[in-house]
Amino acid sequence: MTTQVQLFINGEFVHSKSEKFIPVTNPATQEVIAQVPCTTIDEMEHAISSAKEAFLSWKETPVSERARLMMRFATLLKEHQADIADIICRELGKTVEDAKGDVWRGIEVVEQAANIPSLMMGETVENVARSIDTYSYIQPLGVCAGITPFNFPAMIPLWMFPMAIACGNTFVLKPSEQDPMTVNRIAELFAEAGAPKGVLQVVHGNKEQVDVLLHHKEIKAISFVGSVNVGQYIYKTGTDNLKRVQAFAGAKNHMVIMPDANKNQVVNALVGASVGAAGQRCMAISVAVFVGAAAEWIPDVAAAIGKVRPGVYTDPNAAYGPQISPQARARVLSLIDQGKKEGATCLLDGSGIVVEGYPNGNWVGPTVFSNVTTDMAIYKEEIFGPVLNTMTVNSLDEAIALVNSSPFGNGTAIFTASGHAARKYQHEVEVGQVGINIPIPVPLPFFSFTGWKGSFYGDQHAYGKQAVRFYTETKTITARWFEDDMAATGPNMSINLR
């Protein structure tokens, strides 16, 4: 019997009454490993109303208790990192180490959520006028929701609900229907950590269930990570319904290589940053921009990338796994073919890759193009596969102009031995996350994940201090107390401080 993925509503795992199910497949074999339900409207209402009811008591829970919940949760995630990673491997196809890293980056955000008391501190000014004080409090919004993608089924949900819940909100999570079992395991551990019933709800499905969250009057804020078109839809629809929205969308990340950079470091960095995780990450380096004489290294980069190969997660020599679905593979192969037709030089072609013993897997081999121009589809579109475009320019100014002309601004990097070049780049480039001799500059959670331009729609970013601002409101109080009030109570006034 194929596993039916359950819903997590009001602290309990329950089988959906839905008649609509979506198959969850192993992308290396196409074997159906589970059926995920499309949550019914009644079940969606139950989840949201349970979250609303739980909010009434959860918001009154002392912030120190909320922090201790996150400490217990982080401990359980660490203890079960390997078994969560195993679920990721089976339903997404990641290599074991990549899957463990997925979990670990989520754990780091939970650890940040355990610091919530200091992050929730307000501000105070005494005597803003004579005998008048002003101070501010930070208070939760209510019921928040998250819509997460397939490519990091542990990390991205853990970006969202721990910070929101630590702030005093309750949360409804709709994970990707392509790998839903990871989130269910995480929710199970959250309940084991002592989370009260109703604080976290997990519903499953597709656009119909997302639309319920976008239109429901009790949902106060929406967090989303996914594709450009869906991100724009989430942002427009959510804000039209007067909700706060943070929508992380597409990317086309450039890495600029200066002639004074260390060649071996450049080559090694590009191998992992371009094809790692099968290219299915929004921080992948998909464009390498070689400045001046550095262009001589392009054949060496292609040769190094050509030494890696995809495979199943049980193969210790596999560099990365399959694409998530046959449709995703077909799209990547179509873009590779289009790149050839538009005149790019295919130095390394992975479109015909074969993984022995797994003929039905969604495999795409590492692919490298040179002579890429900005009007080509492989440059304009986010391929989301193991494909690296290489380009050449004559100067750092040209490189900066190229990067800044892109509609996306998620991440970028520069490799150089020059402090002046590095500073000029970090100052002038119009991208939210910049690496200097670091190819994938994802910050640790005490900073924020900060995409710019078409890579992000909203005002406050993920995790860190900005997440706290996103999931809270500020209340400012101006107070004055009169001596006559004290006199009226009499000299024997007593105050119970317990």
- What is the C-alpha separation between 13 and 454, in angstroms, rounded? 38
The CATH number that applies at residue 21 is: 3.40.605.10
- Are residues 403 and 463 both part of a single domain? no
- Are residues 305 and 340 both part of a single domain? yes
- Are residues 29 and 90 both part of a single domain? yes
- What is the C-alpha separation between 343 and 382, in angstroms, rounded? 18
Q: How many domains does the chain have?
A: 2
Long-range interactions of 421-426: CB distance < 8 A, separation 24+: 421/258, 421/260, 421/396, 424/396, 424/400, 425/256, 425/396, 425/399, 425/400
- Are residues 242 and 161 both part of a single domain? yes
- Are residues 361 and 426 both part of a single domain? yes
- What is the C-alpha separation between 466 and 322, in angstroms, rounded? 34
Element (H, E) at 338: helix 326-341
Q: 10 Å Cβ neighbour count for 64?
A: 9
- Are residues 382 and 461 both part of a single domain? no
For residue 30, the SS3 value is coil
487 in a structural domain:
no
Model pLDDT for residues 39-59, shown as the tens digit of each residue: 999 999 999 999 999 999 999
495 in a structural domain:
no
225 in a structural domain:
yes
pLDDT value at residue 491: 53
| 8 A C-beta contact, residue 393 and residue 266 | no
CA 123 to chain centre: 30
- What is the C-alpha separation between 327 and 333, in angstroms, rounded? 10
13 in a structural domain:
yes
402 in a structural domain:
yes
494 in a structural domain:
no
- Can 89 be counted among the known catalytic residues? no
- Are residues 211 and 288 both part of a single domain? no
Question: If 0-12 CB within 10 Å is exposed, 13-18 middle and 19+ buried, where does residue 97 land?
Answer: exposed
- Are residues 344 and 463 both part of a single domain? no
57 in a structural domain:
yes
| Structure token pair of residue 308 | 């890696």
Instruction: Supply the DSSP symbol for 297.
Output: G
The per-residue DSSP string of 225-264 comes to ES-HHHHHHHHHHHHHTT-EEEEE----EEEEE-TTS-HH
- Are residues 176 and 47 both part of a single domain? yes
305 in a structural domain:
yes
- What is the C-alpha separation between 123 and 327, in angstroms, rounded? 52
**Ordered per-residue pLDDT tens for the chain, 498 residues:** 579 999 999 999 999 999 999 999 999 999 999 999 999 999 999 999 999 999 999 999 999 999 999 999 999 999 999 999 999 999 999 999 999 999 999 999 999 999 999 999 999 999 999 999 999 999 999 999 999 999 999 999 999 999 999 999 999 999 999 999 999 999 999 999 999 999 999 999 999 999 999 999 999 999 999 999 999 999 999 999 999 999 999 999 999 999 999 999 999 999 999 999 999 999 999 999 999 999 999 999 999 999 999 999 999 999 999 999 999 999 999 999 999 999 999 999 999 999 999 999 999 999 999 999 999 999 999 999 999 999 999 999 999 999 999 999 999 999 999 999 999 999 999 999 999 999 999 999 999 999 999 999 999 999 999 999 999 999 999 999 998 766 555 555 554 444
| Structure token pair of residue 279 | 């290219």
| Parallel, antiparallel or unpaired: strands 253-257 and 132-140 | unpaired
| Cα dihedral 199, 108, 279, 355 in deg (nearest 10) | -90
| Cα dihedral 47, 48, 49, 52 in deg (nearest 10) | 120
Catalytic residue among 38, 89, 144, 282: 282
Describe the chain by its helix, strand, coil percentages, rounded to 5.
40, 25, 35
- Are residues 219 and 291 both part of a single domain? no
Q: Helix 263-275 crosses helix 298-305 at what angle (to 10 degrees)?
A: 50
Q: 10 Å Cβ neighbour count for 12?
A: 12
φ and ψ at 426, to 5 degrees?
-65, -30
- Are residues 301 and 354 both part of a single domain? yes
Name the maximum alpha-carbon separation found in the chain.
Answer: 91
pLDDT value at residue 490: 56
pLDDT value at residue 1: 59
Task: Report CA torsion sign: 284, 288, 294, 299.
Answer: positive
Long-range interactions of 232-241: CB distance < 8 A, separation 24+: 232/457, 234/147, 234/210, 234/457, 235/457, 235/458, 237/211, 238/214, 241/214, 241/215, 241/217
- What is the C-alpha separation between 351 and 101, in angstroms, rounded? 27
Q: What is the pTM of this model?
A: 0.95
- Are residues 172 and 283 both part of a single domain? no
The CATH number that applies at residue 351 is: 3.40.309.10
Q: What is the extent of the structural domain holding 21? A: 3-250+451-477
